[in-house]
Chain A
Amino acid sequence: MQVRLKCFAWAREVTGEEEISVEIPEGGTVADLRARLEERFPVFAGRMESIAVSVNQEFSGDKARIRPGDEVALIPPISGG
């Protein structure tokens, strides 16, 4: 299953794209997505703990399932205000 992943701030600079496509197993979770990202961009490996993942615009834990068509994003530590 292809996940379209939105990237922001530092994560956008690492991937070089506003949105990338990541392959995870059918019925896969946020944890699967994180594992694939670490393989593809090793620089994420040491940083994953600080990066949140949102699914359909809600912060989602590693057990959250990702379904086809879900809106998924990488949220590095925020700094608004």
Chain B
Amino acid sequence: MICRIVERPIDVQALAAQVEEAEAGAVCTFAGLVRNHSRGQRVTHLEYQAYREMAEKKLRQVADEIAERFGVTRLAIEHRVGVLRIGDVAVGIASASAHRDAAFKACRYAIDRIKQVVPIWKKEFGEDGAVWVEECAVEAPPAREPGRPEN
């Protein structure tokens, strides 16, 4: 399992090679690319920032969820930070499993959960200036009452 925040270009085929194994008849990859437009505005480039330690921890949490839900343990996720240009890979995911269904589901679940729980932010730079994009406000799980055991 690979769960990394990186500052270099992401090679999705290299991630796929990391998860391939003889028992896996299916390998799925997902690449999230920097797009040249957003909400009707031209985008010239992006800057990604991460709370690196927590982001990698949350990526591992997502990987654990995928293992539990889909039985997929051959998984690689990389998210890039820093300045990215149009067409650069911002996030790369590769999953491998015996059959295709679980591999597809693992990739889809991974990108959806990254957008919900992993502390990474993008700043869009366009002709009218720059703005931090705010897509998902994270809610804390319900607080446990003090003194009550966890269960």
Kindly specify which of B6-14, B47-55, B66-74 makes contact with the partner chain. B47-55
Please list the residues of chain A having a beta carbon within 8 angstroms of any beta carbon in chain B: 6, 8-10, 12-13, 49-54, 57, 59-65, 73, 75-81
Contact B79 A10 (CB under 8 A): no
A10 CB, nearest partner CB in chain B, Å: 5
**Does any Cβ of A come within 8 Å of B133's Cβ?**
yes
* Count of A-B residue pairs with CB < 8 Å: 101
B135 interface residue (CB < 8 Å to A): yes
Between A and B, 26 residue pairs with Cβ closer than 8 Å are A8-B49, A8-B51, A9-B132, A10-B132, A12-B49, A52-B137, A52-B139, A54-B54, A57-B53, A60-B143, A61-B143, A62-B140, A64-B143, A75-B119, A76-B132, A77-B135, A77-B137, A78-B115, A78-B119, A78-B134, A78-B135, A79-B122, A79-B132, A79-B134, A79-B136, A81-B32
Q: Chain B residues near A54 (CB, 8 Å)? A: 51, 54, 119
